[in-house]
């Protein structure tokens, strides 16, 4: 499912227009992004938790030349599914 299909599903399920569904989805994604930028977490009970993880600096290899390169540390988004979501899949 891509974003357009998700918007269609939200519009049908909530009985709202596609424009309203688009605004709602964009607002939700924006809120999650803003919170993660501030190193916060977003918990949707029954769905899961979005958080920020840290990846340490490390040494890697350029696959083309075999040369060693330094990879900087980075912040990465993480998602931990909630119990209800896990149970729905099994």
The pLDDT tens digits along the chain (90 residues) read: 999 999 999 999 999 999 999 999 999 999 999 999 999 999 999 999 999 999 999 999 999 999 999 999 999 999 999 999 999 998
Q: Is the pTM of this model over 0.85?
A: no
Distance in angstroms (rounded) separating the CA atoms of residues 51 and 47:
13
Give the list of residues 6+ apart from residue 75 with CB closer than 8 angstroms, or none: 39, 52, 53, 54, 55
Query: What is the CATH class of 41-90?
Result: few secondary structures
């Amino acid at each position: 499912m891509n974003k357009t299909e998700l918007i269609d599903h939200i519009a049908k399920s909530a009985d709202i227009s596609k424009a309203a569904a688009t605004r709602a989805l964009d607002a939700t994604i924006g809120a999650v992004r803003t919170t993660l930028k501030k190193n916060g977490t977003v918990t949707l009970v029954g769905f899961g938790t979005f958080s920020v993880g840290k990846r340490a600096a490390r040494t890697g290899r350029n696959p083309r030349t075999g040369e060693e390169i330094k990879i900087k540390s980075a912040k990465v988004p993480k998602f931990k599914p909630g119990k209800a979501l896990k149970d729905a899949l099994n």
